[in-house]
Structure 1
Amino acid sequence: MTTDLVQFLSGIDIFKKLDRTELSTVADSLRRISAAANEILFRQGDEGDELFIIAEGQVAVTVRLPSGDSFEVAQFGAGTFLGEMAIFDRSPRSASCVTKEASTLYSMSSRDFYSLVHDHPRAAIKIMYRMLEATTGRLTNSSKFLSDMVVWGEGARKRAITDDFTGLYNRRFLDDAIEDQTAQALAEGRPMSVLMFDLDHFHAINEAYGMEIGDHVIKSLVPVIRQTLRDTDLPARYGGDEFTVILPDTGPAEALEIAWKLVHGVSELTVLQEIDGPIDTVSTSVGVASLPGHGKTGSELKDRADEALYAAKSAGRNRAEVWKRADVGA
């Protein structure tokens, strides 16, 4: 068995520079492990004190995500090793390791490795040199993995707060952001305004042309919104053809100017003029509400902006209105 093990070890990367006598010494320090499928070898956070060499089978390395889920980083098969850093400083494991199938492994403890360093320093130096090379390569791959994870996480974050149809923020983001922005503005004594707007006669457009054209009209608003708003503004599709915009550091007069720019920009759209049908114009009505005079919470500002929006509808549409108490029930 020792001869077979020595032969096996000679093919393992970290032992390739050892002669047969040195390999035999290493073989004597190893402990054989038979593991069933799905057996946990170690958990993320456990104190590490063993190097593992896989003789047969397959093991997976996983990390725990902030969500609590496990994410598989890599798989290792026969002839590979893992956990090499643990035998140096007994630091907590940076990942978990579990067998994917019935596996046979050999382990070297930190204590046995330091005995090798003491008794056979030449062999230990060879092993450490190969470990350093292997670890450098793995750290390079880990850096790429972490970079990929950051990109993946950023993409997931964006997907969670973005409206797929328009690319603007979604209602979930808006509902959270408006409360945060309102509280911050009040605490710092800064102005803030909210716009709510939707398309005039959108139901009639859908009835005349169908929902596909209606969707096309909604999408045509996005360039107008982006061109009209500033980089600090937060536009969101609130649902259907309804949109909400948070305007930081903006009082009611300036917010009304921006609202009117939206009105004029939308009125210049020619998307329906390209289609033979009963409606050839696109217009919007916009409601404006501002801190601190129109409300003290994000929810109140949305309600006031919505009331001002309906006041704009009642006044003839294709216009912008700032909230007034008389708007309630308009």
Structure 2
Amino acid sequence: MQGMQQPSSRRPMSCLSSEGPGAAGKYCFRKTRRLRVVLKPDILKEIEIFSDLGEEEIAVLRSVMNEHAIQEGDVLFRQNQEGSEVYIVLDGSIGISVKLPDGKELEISEVRSGNFFGEMSIFEDSHRSATCRAKEKSLLLSLHKNEFFRLMETHSSIAARILYRMLVITTSRLKNTGNFLSDMVQWGEEARKRAITDDFTGLYNRRFLEDALNEQLSEARVRRQKLSLAMVDLDHFGTLNKEYGEKKGDEVILAAVTVFNTVFRDGGILVRYGGDEFTFILPRTDAAEALSKCEKVCSGLRELPVLDGMPGSIRRLTSSIGIACFPDHGESMAALLERADKALYKAKEAGRNRVAVAD
């Protein structure tokens, strides 16, 4: 991270290559245990798995962790290597990939700020199940399993709470990805895209929403940035389908998506939640900016000619949108979803065809 003061002394460079830890190769990064000089005092408190630790407990944890400053393309470890450390991303992003039967690598996920990976080396004595490579310049922390076991002996309360949070998050990851990981490995990149994409609109699907929102919230929390969540319903879509038929309904959906993509062409994660329901994740966006963008969505939908000349009761496409912002309206995924949903219904109760921000 630019602007960080560097320690006055460092450990020697540690290198990783395809031959494993310690081998000479191109994959090198610096390590240091003098984290107090390098990191903000409260940065670990912003990481979800450490968030319920007190200041003294954080200090104990920091004393047994290492820092890794790595460059784009650096490999932390490769699939089937022995593992001994869990990593936490403070800044940047790490790609996780597996080897396909044809020898090619398939990226199956990305770990960004505030999240961790490599935890199975703590849970059990197993080889790495994937290859982890920096997608950009990144700053990581690591905790060696031997240090963790010593922590269990000397500070069992700290270790127990960290382990519990890691297990909860890891279980959720396995539940969300286990059903389609084998298909991704077997069929490759196209299967990965199909698993997270709505076939009809090309937007992300509901399956992708939870992982994406959790990841973006973790990054916003660590970077202390705003994040807005918008929930969108097309007004009277059920009536429109009945009066004009499903074919026209499909045409309306696709027309609406063109407006969404146009308004958010500079950024935003657009999800088709189901039917005529959509969700927008807007990183680095406060409530005022989200309101402005979503009002452009409403305006763009009203101007669509898709219902021109139709004989039914609905002659113009409109939408109702509810917005909630992190951390103003909630700090968890569940809280943001709930507040955005309430804002959506506030927009509907006020007459639809409008945007409402959470109270």
Query: Could you state the TM-score of these two structures normalised by the residue count of structure 2?
Result: 0.48
User: Does the 8 A contact of 1:270 with 1:280 survive in 2?
Assistant: no
Q: Distance in 2 between matches of 1:315 and 1:275?
A: 26
The Cα offsets for residues 208-260 of structure 1, whole Å up to 9 and x where unpaired, read as 11222112111111110011014321001001100000000001111110110
- Deviating more after overlay: 152-161 vs 202-211: 152-161
Q: 2:274: which partner in 1?
A: 239
Q: 1:289: which partner in 2?
A: 324
Q: Distance in 2 between matches of 1:271 and 1:278?
A: 14
The percent identity for this pair of structures is: 49
2:312 paired residue among 277, 301, 310: 277
Q: Distance in 1 between matches of 2:103 and 2:295?
A: 52
Residue type of the partner of 2:230? L
The Cα offsets for residues 172-225 of structure 1, whole Å up to 9 and x where unpaired, read as 111110011011101210100011111111111112112221121111111100
Q: Distance in 1 between matches of 2:353 and 2:231?
A: 13
Q: 1:321: which partner in 2?
A: 356
Matched, 1:184 2:231: no
User: Does the 8 A contact of 1:196 with 1:242 survive in 2?
Assistant: yes
Deviation at 1:71, TM superposition (A): 6.0
Q: Distance in 1 between matches of 2:313 and 2:328?
A: 42
Q: Distance in 2 between matches of 1:193 and 1:212?
A: 33
Matched, 1:175 2:210: yes
Q: 1:96: which partner in 2?
A: none
- Deviating more after overlay: 274-283 vs 303-312: 274-283
SS in 2 for 1:246: strand
Q: Distance in 1 between matches of 2:346 and 2:295?
A: 15
SS in 2 for 1:277: coil
Deviating above 4 A after TM superposition, structure 1's stretches of 4 or more consecutive aligned residues are 69-73
Bigger proportion of residues as helix: 1
2:264 paired residue among 224, 229, 233: 229
Q: 1:155 to 1:274 in 2, by over 3 A?
A: farther
Which consecutive residues of structure 1, in runs of 5 or more, have no partner in the other structure?
1-44, 46-64, 74-148, 325-330
SS in 2 for 1:290: strand
User: Does the 8 A contact of 1:168 with 1:235 survive in 2?
Assistant: yes
Q: 1:208 to 1:293 in 2, by over 3 A?
A: same
Residue type of the partner of 2:241? N
User: Does the 8 A contact of 1:183 with 1:297 survive in 2?
Assistant: no
Q: 2:287: which partner in 1?
A: 252
Q: How many residues align?
A: 185
Q: Distance in 2 between matches of 1:72 and 1:195?
A: 41
The Cα offsets for residues 130-172 of structure 1, whole Å up to 9 and x where unpaired, read as xxxxxxxxxxxxxxxxxxx99x633222111110010001111
SS in 2 for 1:179: helix
Q: Distance in 2 between matches of 1:226 and 1:161?
A: 17
SS in 2 for 1:178: helix
- Deviating more after overlay: 219-228 vs 271-280: 271-280
Which consecutive residues of structure 2, in runs of 5 or more, have no partner in the other structure?
1-79, 81-96, 105-183
Q: 1:303: which partner in 2?
A: 338
Q: 1:264: which partner in 2?
A: 299
Alignment of 1:1-330 (within 5 A): 66=98, 153-324=188-359
Residue type of the partner of 1:198? D
Deviation at 1:70, TM superposition (A): 5.2
SS in 2 for 1:238: strand
Calculate the aligned-residue CA RMSD, in Å: 2.6
SS in 2 for 1:227: helix
